[in-house]
Amino acid sequence: MTPACWPCPLPHGGTAEEYALTFGRGRSARLLIVPALFDESNRLRRFTVDVMRRLDAAGIDSLAIDLPGCNESLQPLEAQDAQCWTRAIMAACTHFGATHVLGIRGGALFVPADLPAWHYAPVKGASILRQMVRARLLAAREAGREETREGLMKLALAEGIELAGYRLGPQMAQDLEGLTPAGTATVIAQEQLGGAGLWLRAEPGDSAEQSDALASALAAEITP
């Protein structure tokens, strides 16, 4: 397991250095992983790394990238939109020589269409936004503040909004409202792994059985 850097294109030209976690031995199969988004990324980080370790043992290189504005990225999240993230992922695929792509949960919304791809438990952008708005409404209620979903969405689309600790710009909020995972990828449903999705837990967790199942499903398709 090795950290690596890759040149991420900036909206107005030039590049910024972003990080990726890699399991690489120069093998012919290289799987790029687009992680889950926002708080789900934190809850599924250990699971993602466990899957990568199993793929490494199966003879498959893998890498999980930081999206611009997320994790260790120095770019502001509120300046990102769907086009920025799509362009960034395509650049990472080229830089690392990816042969296959896996989108996890909301990451499936940004998987490139020109590589063999899998979507693990994909979710619509509107569902992600709705869950984040619901979390803010619950927090506001506990704090004695009056907020409504309609009011928050109006604010999000006009000025941007902070949801669950993430500051989204108005373009990203608008993009998420209309994004759905592409139908060209192979879907790996949670039912195929068994048990409830780890993103549903209150705290980050892991499951050896689910990591084994996802890695095995991917290896069976990727390995000649």
Q: Are 67 and 138 within one domain?
A: no
Q: Are 105 and 154 within one domain?
A: no
Cα–chain-centroid distance for residue 100? Answer: 15
- The structural domain count of the chain equals 2
The encoded tokens of residue 204 equal 């980050």
**Rounded Cα distance, 49 and 22, in Å:** 9
Question: How big is the CA angle at 60 (ends 54 and 62), to the nearest 5 degrees?
Answer: 80
Q: Are 44 and 110 within one domain?
A: yes
Q: Among all chains, which residue has been given the structure tokens 């780890």? A: 198
Q: Among all chains, which residue has been given the structure tokens 């599924």? A: 44
**Rounded Cα distance, 42 and 165, in Å:** 12
Q: Are 86 and 119 within one domain?
A: yes
Q: Are 25 and 79 within one domain?
A: yes
Q: What predicted TM-score, i.e. pTM, was given to this entire model?
A: 0.94
Here the CATH number for the domain that contains residue 14 is 3.40.50.1820
Q: Are 37 and 109 within one domain?
A: yes
Q: Are 91 and 187 within one domain?
A: yes
Burial of residue 111 (CB within 10 Å: 0-12, 13-18, 19+) is buried
Mapped onto helix, strand or coil, the DSSP state of residue 110 is helix
Q: Are 136 and 46 within one domain?
A: no
Sheet holding 186-188, edge to edge: 2-9, 15-23, 61-65, 30-34, 100-104, 117-120, 186-188
Domain containing 60: what range? 2-123+181-222
Q: Are 186 and 171 within one domain?
A: no
Q: Are 55 and 149 within one domain?
A: no
Q: Are 84 and 36 within one domain?
A: yes
Sorted by sequence, the CB contacts under 8 Å of residue 76 that are 6+ apart come out as: 69, 167
Contact 170, 157 (CB under 8 A): yes
φ and ψ at 124, to 5 degrees? Answer: -75, 150
Q: Are 18 and 87 within one domain?
A: yes
pLDDT in tens, the chain (224 residues): 799 999 999 988 899 999 999 999 899 999 999 999 999 999 999 999 999 999 999 999 999 999 999 999 999 999 999 999 999 999 999 999 999 999 999 999 999 989 999 999 999 999 999 999 999 999 999 989 999 999 999 999 999 999 989 999 999 999 999 999 988 899 999 999 999 999 999 888 899 999 999 999 999 999 86
